[in-house]
Structure 1
């Protein structure tokens, strides 16, 4: 664990007690807002609007402008853990992303705020000697229904590659247009995931999802994606795997995280020795809004993490 007094100023405003994007990610985010002609739109964000994205370009850009920073700061908050509320999750993240080969399946990835903030946070902690700088190879398959969101994700990651490499983090990435409601597409997605990682000796398979509850936070929509989620967990059930779900803390998120129990209970019943629920907690925090240059005092996050039990 890292003492809150030692948290790098690139990620933590000590006086305001707020998390922030590092300069590199903030700069790239603003550059891409301009590329999407969305900078003025981002200035209208009140920190409370909740666009959930969608398949169209307009929806993707709106979500990027309004929700990218909020989604990113959730991940930064749980990774830094300034209030010592997520110690088990922080330890698990630091252990997983310390060295070796990690294969990430990024589901409903949007424009990638959660992954990009995780990677850039690791860079800053490495640069400040708070984490060891060991070779880390990360292979990402990013899946989303929106071609525009995937385009922005890939462009941001491409621009951040030199910055990541400077800290010993090498990223290889692909994108996949994926409708979570289609079990056929999900089967193809998993075939692709295993195909692109077939020549890699992966230390761990890591499935991450952020803010999926905007769509799946009700019984009707969850039922539409349930078969796909079950297929993904079944395919990874015999592998060294982790599932991390990061959501805003609200009614839809609580519903979604509760419904996930149906998926993982089935896995636990069949692979009794494989999965265990490690955390299911929620928390509020403050974050820096870089466009309006103000602290948002009502950030919130709820988390559920499942990890293979190797004991």
Structure 2
């Protein structure tokens, strides 16, 4: 059996509402695009979105101004990056795609997105699954999700809650039911991390399947040099997230700060090997521990234009070995 036959989501079955095969362009899930456009209009952010500069992308921040800038100019790219990891239309991470599809297929799921920002990664996964169900690609089995969005920026958490309110009706049409809580999380602070872990433990009692998404953390950990401060909290986060039916992924833009020797993923691999080996392992589709992919995606606010999304992905198994 070759890998194409073993995939849960054959790339040939990805609907044209998500992937333009002829032009190799990602299309963001219609339900999420609708919700996003609604919020952009509600908060009068179209002008800010139109001023995006691909050579100088926003990094986000704790203020309303920084959050607005990131939401208007970079949220769509974060959605596309998570979508590329899930759908894998270019077949760069097929076994990883299987793990995420399996987690989201049905039943009860505890989904932790940390840091969640405005919810790009989690909502991308859920909205893509909803669209695959709507097009008859995946079965429409009830999926009850307990979503924990952990994020330091209060304005970003407000955007995440508002997006979910716009999105939930379309998700529920496809038997995806989400209960969410967006809480403050400072990865460099022990007590803040403990609050997130408590929420994860409580959620896993009723929602035994667990999926942990860590996305777009490169700026804080690398640029702001917070890895050493954050390391003890990641130790606890991964340890408490581990167990049966637990998977995780770490998503970053494919740039040198993340993928080079001495970069973020190099640090992550070293910790997996030397510190976290009892409860976390790398899972890869090849001999390369870091999976990468690139695609163009249609801009949701300017449908005639596209932008490039670059993905660096480290899939992780949280099954305990001891």
TM-score by length of 2: 0.89
Question: Which of structure 1's runs of 4+ aligned residues deviate more than 4 A?
Answer: none
1:226 corresponds to? 231
Residues matched between the structures, number: 306
How do 1:48-63 residues align onto structure 2 when only pairs under 5 Å count?
A: 48-63=55-70
Distance 1:49 1:292, change over 3 A: farther
Asked if residue 216 in structure 1 is aligned to residue 221 in structure 2, the reply is yes
Asked if residue 186 in structure 1 is aligned to residue 196 in structure 2, the reply is no
Asked if residue 256 in structure 1 is aligned to residue 261 in structure 2, the reply is no
What's the secondary structure of 1:220's corresponding residue?
Answer: coil
Distance 1:98 1:38, change over 3 A: same
CA contact (8 A) 1:141 1:174 kept: yes
Deviating more after overlay: 50-59 vs 259-268: 259-268
CA contact (8 A) 1:30 1:39 kept: no
Distance 1:9 1:259, change over 3 A: same
Asked if residue 10 in structure 1 is aligned to residue 20 in structure 2, the reply is no
CA contact (8 A) 2:294 2:309 kept: yes
Listed as ranges, the gaps of 5+ residues in structure 1 are none
Shift of 1:128: 1.5
Equivalents in 2 of 1:209, 1:310: separation in Å?
19
Asked if residue 236 in structure 1 is aligned to residue 241 in structure 2, the reply is yes
TM-score by length of 1: 0.92
Deviating more after overlay: 6-15 vs 25-34: 6-15
Shift of 1:112: 0.8
What's the secondary structure of 2:226's corresponding residue?
Answer: helix
How large is the RMSD of aligned CA atoms in angstroms? 2.0
Listed as ranges, the gaps of 5+ residues in structure 2 are 1-6, 285-289
How do 1:71-110 residues align onto structure 2 when only pairs under 5 Å count?
A: 71-110=78-117
Shift of 1:301: 0.3
Shift of 1:257: 1.5
Equivalents in 1 of 2:180, 2:163: separation in Å?
12
Distance 1:263 1:287, change over 3 A: same
What's the secondary structure of 1:98's corresponding residue?
Answer: coil
